Structure 1
Amino acid sequence: MTALLEVRGLETAYGSSQVLFGIDLDIRAAEVATLLGRNGMGKTTTVRSVLGLTRPRGGEVRFLGERIDGRDPDRIARMGLAVVPEGRQIFPNLSVQENLLAFAGNRSASSDPWTLERVYELFPRLKERAANMGNQLSGGEQQMLAIGRALMTNPRLLVLDEATEGLAPLIREEIWRCLNALRGQGQTILVIDKYVQRLVRLADRHTIIERGRVVWQGDSAQLGADPSLWHRYIGV
């Protein structure tokens, strides 16, 4: 099966400091993939390089068969790549509903597009808080809003950077429930998170990065059967 996203030999640096050294990554349509590794190993830089937020120095990124490395971030986003960024970055002075409507679009040309009603069905708490400003929400509610906002673009690929970082256990469970529901609907997802036990149950394939290099790739059965990988590369 042809990959929706293909990354080959990706190299990225900040000034004279090289961070990525030849990253390879494939994500196929309708699968859930993860990018794993300790903090500072290059996961977010990989995502930024794919999204055009940080320009790579080498390698290729292809999305829907088109080469996108070097393109502007908005052009890449319009092709159907949406990110839930680390830190959420919602608009604090817009209401929940205004945050969602600001991103409405149908970039995947879906016959069953995401609408306010569908997002509210996925996250009933957002419907209850629809008139509240972004800065009046809890951290968990902001994360739900960030996911809902990305879904309103109807993305072909949804990227979640630190999907459950800093959230209370009950809220984390709600985010996992949401991601399982999206998987069931055929949404292609790339997740960065540290909760390997949950990711093994959620995702199809995994890529582990150490110091800007891919050190392991495999499926959930392989990762679940070898907890030594978790300790060696992820610290859990």
Structure 2
Amino acid sequence: MAEGSLLLEVEAIETCYGLSQVLFGMSLKVRAGEMVALMGRNGMGKTTTIRSIMGLTPARAGQIRLGGKEVRGMPPFRIAQLGIGLVPEGRQIFPNLTVHENLVAASANRLGGANPWTIDRIHALFPRLAERRANMGNQLSGGEQQMLAIGRALMTNPRLLILDEATEGLAPLIRVEIWNCLSMLKAQGQSVLVIDKNVEHLTRIADRHFIIERGRAVWSGTSEQLIAEPDLQHKYLGI
């Protein structure tokens, strides 16, 4: 949906951890209803880009706009309230809350969506969470925790869903389930920014891709363009 209105605009951000600079003018864009992939080898700045967008590791320069509103410098909770749902690397669900409590803890419809996410809709998306609703977060498998992390983010009814390492470390069958879920969300018009290493699946469902190398975007284009450039994949993605 390249014709959609601009939802997220990251422009020339620079981010450091202490004295160590990680991002050097990183830029990317996500339009409404679009699924965008952020790709690159480990240590190139993918997670730092996400942390900068969320205000968790604030960018020291550049612009980050959500729906045209500048959010750089805002506290993370405020950025989340403006409509970003994060599925962080490592999932970070609440281990001492039940599946049900994890889902309702973050539930909100601040933007007044017409068909908001509910427990029933999450259970329909991930039937396994319905079966495990009374289990504590730390009693779930890695795949179930990832489903719960996605469900928890959706319960905030976000304008933009961000997934950092969507399928890393998951069993093959669970990975398929997560990709099916993302395809379904895209079909429903959910805007998504996703980090993952599975180029085959990403080129199948994402509209556009940004490749990051040493803290800056070195290439962006459509799935068709990425598939047509295997040398690019080899150079920047190690494939």
Which TM bucket (shorter chain)? Answer: over 0.9
Amino acid at match of 2:226: L
Map of 1:2 onto structure 2: 5
Aligned to 2:86: 83
Matched, 1:221 2:233: no
| Count of aligned residue pairs for this structure pair | 236
- Separation in structure 2 between the aligned mates of residue 24 and residue 7 of structure 1, nearest angstrom: 5
Are 1:36 and 1:193, in contact at CA under 8 Å, matched by a contact in 2? yes
> In the TM superposition, what is the alpha-carbon distance from 1:2 to its structure 2 partner?
3.4
2:142 corresponds to:
139
Secondary structure in 1 matching 2:201 = helix
Residues 86-131 of structure 1: per-residue CA shift (max 9 Å, x gap): 0000011111000000011013321000000000000000000000
Structure 1: stretches of 5+ with no match in the other structure: none
User: Of residues 170, 186, 193 in structure 2, which corresponds to 1:183?
Assistant: 186
How far apart are 1:207 and its partner, in Å? 0.2
Would you identify which runs of 4 or more consecutive aligned residues in structure 1 move more than 4 Å? none
The share of aligned pairs that are identical, in percent, is: 65
RMSD: 0.8
For 1:109, the aligned partner's letter is: G
What amino acid sits opposite 2:89 in the alignment? E
Q: What TM-score, normalized by structure 1, do the two folds share? A: 0.99
What is the letter of the counterpart of residue 124 of structure 2? E
Q: Which amino acid aligns with 1:32?
A: M
Mapping of 1:67-82 within 5 angstroms?
67-82=70-85
Counterpart CA distance in 2 for 1:137 and 1:156 is 28
> What is the one-letter code of the residue matched to 1:175?
I
* Secondary structure, aligned partner of 1:19: strand
Question: Structure 2: which 5+ runs fail to align?
Answer: none
Under a length normalisation based on structure 2, what TM-score does the superposition of the two structures give? 0.97
Q: Structure 2: how far apart are the matches of 1:102 and 1:213?
A: 36
Match of 2:195 among 165, 168, 192: 192
Q: Summarize deviations over 1:150-203 as a string: whole Å, max 9, x none.
A: 000000000000000000100000000000000010000000000001000110
> What is the CA–CA distance in structure 2 between the aligned matches of 1:139 and 1:15, rounded to whole Å?
32
